[in-house]
Amino acid sequence: MHPTTDPTTIGTPGQPWGPAEKAQWRALQTRRRSYEDEVASKIRALGDRFDIAAYGELDYAPDGRYPLLAVLSRDWDERLPCAVVTGGVHGYETSGVHGALQFAERHAATYVGKINLLIAPCVSPWGYERIHRWNPDALDPNRSFRAGSPAGESAALLDLVAPLRGKVLVHIDLHETTDSDETEFRPALAARDGKPYEPGEIPDGFYLVDDSEHPQRGFQAAIIEAASKVTHIAPADARGEIIGSPWDRWASARASPARATSPPPRSIPTVRAPRRNSATTPRPPRCVQGSTTPWPTRPEPPPSSGARTLYAFRHRPGRVPCINT
Ligand SMILES: [Zn+2]
């Protein structure tokens, strides 16, 4: 670990960080790549085929202002269902950012007339530039998707999709496991929260996280089967788990027949969605520009059964990775 970015030296062991410690942490973060050059300009270039929504702007002075951009199906058809793809909720999970971009560039056009697409390739641009999972306030945007969110990244995305409530058939949220999780980010999390660091295992391969309250096993299995044609599927660890949750042996076995030594159990364990941390004190988000809401109609009330969120992880060989989804 680079000494100047070692977060475990900040604060007092056993005590959560306060504002001074968070400021100290932020001062250590340096810009390591350009969101504008690598992401925003590529999103704008899609404007010849798609509508581009500037759904907010994050003012993180003195580091700069970050436009939040999403790609939308042109000729949005209210009669069609909607699919949402998000990447870079954790800015350091690079493959999700560029996977979402490449999906928009190469494949999204094939869905014209079939489904409305909303693609937000990089939810956390400040974290993308600094290759970090938190925002400048040391908040994890993926633990901040709630009303009155203290994270501008999360608040802006929630505002963007609010009018689509009840219309989203599927949401694929692209994450990645990185090898820096066990060396940097999980130790930082422990230091920030004043808790002991407990080593974990990083899965090697593609895996999905289902919603344990609304499991979609057939859909999950289909995704695993399709992904197995282009990459390897993560096996369970020695405890039969992936990132601390039960491994759905059946879904993975379909993609790896050699592991299928017995029929699927009657009750298939499902990988849990991670618990949200709601302990952070909310404060106004820093999204300083209102959403340029592209939706032509008023939002509808939520149905009794909402959209499902899937967390897709893609291991990139040589750049392993994030345990907390
Ligand atoms: Zn993540």
- The CATH number given to whatever domain includes residue 79 is 3.40.630.10
Report pLDDT for 247: 79
Ligand 1 centre and the CA of 92: distance in Å?
8
- Is 318 contained in some domain? no
The pLDDT of residue 245 is 81
Q: What percent of the chain has pLDDT over 90?
A: 51
Residue 128 is assigned to a structural domain of this protein: yes
In a domain, 319, yes or no: no
The stretch 156-178 carries a mean pLDDT of 93
Is 5 a residue whose pLDDT tops 50? yes
Q: Is residue 324 part of a domain?
A: no
Q: What is the mean pLDDT of the chain?
A: 78
Cα 174 to ligand 1 centroid, rounded to whole Å: 8
| CB burial of residue 219 (10 Å; 0-12, 13-18, 19+) | middle
Residue 197 lies in a domain: yes
Residue 102 to residue 95: CA distance in whole angstroms: 10
CA of 34 to the centre of ligand 1 (A): 20
Between 258 and 72, the higher pLDDT residue: 72
Q: Does the residue 27 lie in any domain?
A: yes
CA of 310 to the centre of ligand 1 (A): 12
Residue 130 reports pLDDT greater than 90? yes
pLDDT tens digit sequence for 218-261 = 888 899 899 999 999 988 888 888 887 887 755 554 555 444 33
- How many angstroms does the Cα of residue 296 sit away from the middle of ligand 1? 32
Residue 325 lies in a domain: no
Kindly give the distance from the C-alpha atom of residue 75 to the centroid of ligand 1, in angstroms, as a whole number: 32
Given pLDDT bands bounded at 50, 70 and 90, which one contains residue 198? confident
CA of 201 to the centre of ligand 1 (A): 15
Query: CB count, 10 Å around CB of 71?
Result: 27
pLDDT of 250 reads: 55
What's the number of domains the chain is made of? 1
Q: Does the structure show a pLDDT above 60 at 87?
A: yes
Q: How far is the CA of 289 from the centre of ligand 1 (A)?
A: 26
- Measured in Å, residue 262 CA sits from the centre of ligand 1 at 32
Tell how far the Cα of 209 is from the centroid of ligand 1, in angstroms: 11
The Cα–Cα gap between 148 and 126 comes to 20
pLDDT digits (tens, 9 = 90+) for 314-323: 323 322 222 3
* H or E element, residue 85: strand 82-87
**Cα 22 to Cα 9: distance, rounded to the nearest angstrom:** 12
Nearest to 245 by CA among 277, 268, 222, 225: 268
Say how many Å lie between the CA of residue 188 and the centre of ligand 1. Answer: 15
Give distance in angstroms: CA of 133 to centre of ligand 1. Answer: 7
Residue 48 Cα to ligand 1 middle (Å): 30
Task: Give the tens place of pLDDT for each residue, 113-128.
Answer: 999 999 999 999 999 9
pLDDT at 19 over 80: yes
198 CA from centroid of ligand 1 (Å): 18
| pTM, rounded to two decimals | 0.76
Parent domain of 297: 3-259+267-313
According to the per-residue pLDDT averaged within each range, which of 10-19, 182-191, 265-274 is highest? 10-19
Q: How many angstroms is it from 175 CA to the middle of ligand 1?
A: 4
Query: What's the CA-to-centroid distance between 254 and ligand 1, angstroms?
Result: 25
For residue 112, report the distance from its CA to the centre of ligand 1, in Å: 29
Res. 170 pLDDT band, cuts 50 70 90: very high
Q: Distance, CA 321 to ligand 1 centroid (Å)?
A: 10
pLDDT given for residue 138 in this prediction: 96
Centre of ligand 1 to C-alpha 78, Å, is 31
How far is ligand 1, taken at its centre, from the CA of residue 202, in Å?
13
pLDDT reading at 299 higher than 60: no
Ligand 1 geometric centre to CA of 176 (Å):
6
Ligand 1 mean position to 206 CA, how many Å? 13
pLDDT interval class at 37 (50, 70, 90): very high
Is 323 contained in some domain?
Answer: no
Model confidence at 309, pLDDT cuts 50, 70, 90, reads very low
Distance 113 CA to ligand 1 centre (A): 31
Residue 168 CB coordination number (10 Å): 18
Quote the tokens at residue 268. Answer: 């298939």
CA of 79 to the centre of ligand 1 (A): 32
- Per-residue pLDDT at 189 exceeds 80: yes
Q: What is the DSSP string of 2-23?
A: -GGG-GGGSS-TTS---HHHHH
